[in-house]
Amino acid sequence: AARLLLEIRDLPDVTRDGTRVELYANIGGPEDVEAVLGSRGAGVGLFRSEFLYLEKETYPTEDELFSAYRQTAERMGGREVVIRTLDIGADKTADYFGIEKEANPAMGFRALRICLKRPEIFRTQLRAIYRASAYGKVSVMFPMVASLWEVEEAKAMAFQVREELEREGIPMGHVDLGIMIETPAAAILSGELAEKVDFFSIGTNDLTQYTLAADRQNDRLDDFYDPRHPAVLRLIAYVAENAQKAGIRAGICGELAADPSLTEVFLKMGIRELSVSPSFLLPLRKRIREICLEETENDQGV
Ligand code: PEP
Ligand code: MG
């Protein structure tokens, strides 16, 4: 089976009837780039930037972050690298952030919420990302969005950082701005949100947790935490529809993106980008090449 997969490694990601799909990879740092390139990933759809913070005893400096982002962008050689801004809190905490213990951390002070309230941390990261954009195709993505104002504030800070770097004469490339859709609120508001960003990436891990009110870390909830739940799939379809209406890209980067039994369902919803762990790239490429979208029009299976 491994040899069969290697045979399809260099084939394009197209369905039998020629629809192109972008197969991206999820990574935690530059050390994962080799695996992405080895399986011919079209880009990095989710760079979980918090790992660079979790490895340390104190805040990483702008230069440390820049160096990791630059390395990743350079080694991806012009393929897109979507850097998700800090998604710390809940399960991923570091003591030096000095964040108080909470009764409901998944619904607490985390991710973009921390970045908006602690702008010095956010600005340092944004500076590093914009600086790295001169060395490849870098995009930025904000996690855990629930409200329009959060996106407006985050974008305003990103534009400020860009202007500041311009004044300093630092070279930069074009940077697309996107958001994760991983709260029911963001999915429901996706029509409005689509007017504000360049792309969506649907985080099914958290979207499932918040839609079903089922803690993704609680093993006792295995029968209840169901990413294939019709409520979750309908939200995904709705987000894809709103993205298409607004003419922006929508991909899926949660674990569900790697489920081959849903690939056809997602493509029929209009999803054209899937971002998965590098080890799922080849099996998913194989799956995509088996699918023919024209056979059963209008059957979204949801
Ligand atoms: C998600 O929530 O689906 C996601 C991709 O982000 P993370 O798993 O890092 O929370
Ligand atoms: Mg998430």
253 lines ligand 1 (CB under 6 A): yes
Which tokens belong to 187?
């999915």
Determine whether the shortest distance from the Cβ of 48 to ligand 1 is under 6 A.
yes
Nearest ligand to residue 208 Cα: 1
Whole-number Å distance between alpha carbons of 281 and 24: 8
pLDDT(297) > 60: no
Return the residue whose CA atom lies nearest to atom 1 of ligand 1.
Answer: 203
Q: Of 3, 116, 135, 20, give the one whose Cα is nearest residue 75.
A: 135
- Tell me, using a 6 A CB cutoff, whether residue 182 lines ligand 1: yes
185 CA to middle of ligand 2, Å?
14
Residue 21 alpha carbon to ligand 2 centre in Å: 23
Distance (angstroms) between ligand 2 centre and the Cα of 205 equals: 6
* Atom 9 of ligand 1: nearest residue by CA position: 48
Among 141, 253, 273, 274, say which to mutate for ligand 1: greatest number of ligand atoms within 8 Å of CB: 253
φ/ψ of residue 11, rounded to 5? -85, 155
- Best residue among 180, 217, 232 to mutate for probing ligand 1's pocket (most ligand atoms within 8 Å of CB) is 180
pLDDT digits (tens, 9 = 90+) for 29-82: 999 999 999 999 999 999 999 999 999 999 999 999 999 999 999 999 999 999
User: In whole angstroms, what separates CA 150 from the centre of its chain?
Assistant: 17
Continuous H helices in the chain: 2-7, 33-38, 50-54, 62-75, 112-117, 119-132, 148-167, 184-188, 190-193, 204-211, 230-246, 263-269, 281-290
| pLDDT bracket for residue 262 (50, 70, 90) | very high
Given pLDDT bands bounded at 50, 70 and 90, which one contains residue 239? very high
Instruction: Tell whether the model's pLDDT for residue 208 goes beyond 60.
Output: yes
Whether ligand 1 lies within 6 angstroms of the CB of 204 is answered as yes
Q: How far apart are CA 196 and CA 189, in angstroms?
A: 11
ipTM (interface pTM): 0.99
Specify whether the CB–CB gap between 59 and 88 falls below 8 A: no
Ligand 1 atom nearest to CA at 48? 9
Closest to 23 in 3D by CA, of 40, 11, 7, 9: 40
pTM of the model: 0.96
CA dist 26 and 41 (Å) reads 10
Q: What is the mean pLDDT of residues 208-219?
A: 97
Identify any residues that bridge with 250 across adjacent strands, giving them in sequence order: 200
Centre of ligand 2 to C-alpha 7, Å, is: 33
Which tens digit of pLDDT belongs to each residue from 183-206?
Answer: 999 999 999 999 999 999 999 999
CA 128/CA 48 separation, integer angstroms: 15
Q: Specify the ligand 1 atom closest to the Cα of 255.
A: 3
